[in-house]
Amino acid sequence: MSVEIGIPAPDFEGQSTKGKIRLSSFKGKRVVLYFYPKAFTPGCSRETQRFAEMYEKFRELNAEVIGISADKLPTQEKFFQKYNVNFPLVADPELNIIRAYGVLSDSGKSASRVTLIIDENGIVRAVIKGLKKAEEHVDKALEVLKSI
């Protein structure tokens, strides 16, 4: 089952590059939750770099950015450091969060590239997928945040 617009985003708790985080602890802020297939691949690297470059723009819109992949925490930490990421990257090697959001890839081993916009009350307001370039998710997420 995939997450749909207008429903509450499934809460989760996970280990991240900034310690343990829980989605519900961001209540009162908007959240850009982006799922990516694999750290250090070209598309995922460009997408994460772009989110890091634009992070302050998201903060100005009362939004927090959270990245999630099936990579283990040590890999996420190396990815975080290499690209000077300033927001949490969540490790989901058991695919629990990825499955809860219905974004499991066709291979069944990683996440599909999907970005969700979650409002201050935890409701999914947008689902972004199917863009030609991974880094386009960043600009589209900013565009959506400005419109809601």
Written as one string, the DSSP assignment of 86-143 is -S-EEE-TT-HHHHHTT-B-TTSSSB--EEEEE-TTSBEEEEEE--SSTTHHHHHHHH
Rounded to the nearest angstrom, the gap between the alpha carbon of residue 34 and the centroid of all alpha carbons in its chain is 2
| List 9, 33, 39, 44, catalytic entry | 44
Contact partners, residue 96, CB within 8 Å, separation at least 6: 12
For residue 44, indicate whether it is catalytic. Answer: yes
- Which residues are annotated as catalytic? 44
